[in-house]
């Protein structure tokens, strides 16, 4: 099963991804996490990406697609994977289709997590407070101003993927406003039609 998670920053993609990984035994490929790892390791990609990410802008399509293409070669992706944070532009969606086609694979389902904007900002403030309470520093792009900018980037560049996948009949909407368990239950109901679960 090849699954894409779409949704604005703070929609709960990471939280739900953890649930899917466990239930369906497929890896989560978070481009945000992969890029942050590259930044921390100060690789050439990481050096290029750091400022772009801190400002809430998108890293170039080529860089991100190359990271994904390499990652999906790994053995643990043979039975499927969950893409979290990719594709994020229409160009990336086309690059993804092309790389999957080469392997005679295709996206099975796209889950859109729908959450209203005020809730997103409240969740951000909570996430920052929890991080500080643990004694950690919040992500550089997790402040109110950059977050609002990331939300706008989502609306401008990523939201157009919603009709793109709807036209392919792959889009499933999930109400992301309920409890974590309630959101998971909706996702399970959709995914149980696909492939084996744990
Ligand atoms: P969130 O889901 O909280 O918005 P992510 O952790 O997915 O954040 O991404 C953080 C940052 O990493 C993005 O703002 C962007 O700079 C970069 N990034 C992640 N995925 C992509 C992508 N597919 N294309 C371009 N940039 C990306």
**Catalytic residue list contains 105:** no
At 196, the pLDDT band (50, 70, 90 cuts) reads: low
- Alpha-carbon distance 110 to 4, whole Å? 5
Q: How many CB atoms lie within 10 A of CB 86?
A: 23
Kindly give the distance from the C-alpha atom of residue 32 to the centroid of ligand 1, in angstroms, as a whole number. 4
Mean pLDDT (whole number) for 186-194:
90
Q: What is the DSSP letter of 60?
A: P
Residue 174 has pLDDT above 70, yes or no: yes
Q: Does some domain include residue 197? A: no
Higher-confidence position of 151 and 198: 151
CATH number of residue 56's parent domain: 3.40.50.300
Split into its structural domains, the chain has a count of 1
Q: Does some domain include residue 171? A: yes
Q: Does some domain include residue 66? A: yes
Nearest ligand 1 atom to the CA of 9 is 4
Q: Does some domain include residue 198? A: no
Full residue range of the structural domain in which residue 94 is found: 2-191
Q: In terms of C-beta density within 10 A (0-12 exposed, 13-18 middle, 19 or more buried), how is residue 11 classed?
A: buried
**pLDDT tens digits, residue range 78-128?**
999 999 999 999 999 999 999 999 999 999 999 999 999 999 999 999 999
Q: Please answer whether residues 5 and 115 qualify as being in contact, where contact means their C-beta atoms are separated by less than 8 angstroms.
A: no
Q: Does some domain include residue 196? A: no
Best probe residue, ligand 1, of 9, 11, 31, 89 (max atoms within 8 Å of C-beta)? 31
Residue 194 has pLDDT above 90, yes or no: no
**Catalytic residue list contains 114:** no
Q: Does some domain include residue 47? A: yes
Residue ID of nearest Cα to ligand 1 atom 16: 53
Greatest Cα pair distance, the chain, in angstroms, is 47
| Backbone region of residue 153 per phi and psi (left: phi > 0; alpha: psi in -120 to 50; beta: other values) | alpha
Kindly give the distance from the C-alpha atom of residue 194 to the centroid of ligand 1, in angstroms, as a whole number. 27
Kindly give the distance from the C-alpha atom of residue 100 to the centroid of ligand 1, in angstroms, as a whole number. 21
Q: Does some domain include residue 75? A: yes
Mean pLDDT (whole number) for 43-59:
96
Residue ID of nearest Cα to ligand 1 atom 6: 32
**Catalytic residue list contains 150:** yes
**Catalytic residue list contains 139:** yes
Q: Does some domain include residue 98? A: yes
């Amino acid at each position: 099963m090849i699954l894409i998670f779409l949704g604005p920053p703070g929609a709960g993609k990471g939280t739900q991804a953890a649930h899917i990984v466990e239930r369906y035994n497929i890896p989560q490929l978070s481009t945000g996490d992969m890029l942050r790892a590259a930044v921390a390791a100060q690789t050439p990609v990481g050096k290029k990406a750091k400022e772009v990410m801190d400002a809430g802008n998108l890293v170039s399509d080529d860089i991100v697609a190359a990271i994904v293409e390499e990652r999906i070669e790994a053995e643990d992706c043979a039975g499927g994977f969950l893409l979290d944070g990719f594709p994020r532009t229409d160009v990336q969606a086309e690059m993804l289709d092309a790389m999957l086609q080469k392997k005679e694979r295709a996206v099975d389902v796209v889950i859109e997590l729908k959450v209203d904007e005020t809730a997103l900002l409240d969740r951000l403030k909570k996430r920052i407070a929890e991080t500080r309470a643990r004694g950690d520093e919040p992500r550089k792009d997790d402040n109110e101003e950059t977050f609002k900018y990331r939300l706008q980037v989502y609306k401008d560049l990523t939201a157009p993927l919603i009709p793109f996948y709807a036209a392919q009949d792959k889009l499933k909407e999930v109400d992301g406003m309920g409890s974590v368990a309630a959101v998971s239950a909706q996702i399970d109901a959709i995914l149980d039609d696909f492939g084996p679960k744990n």
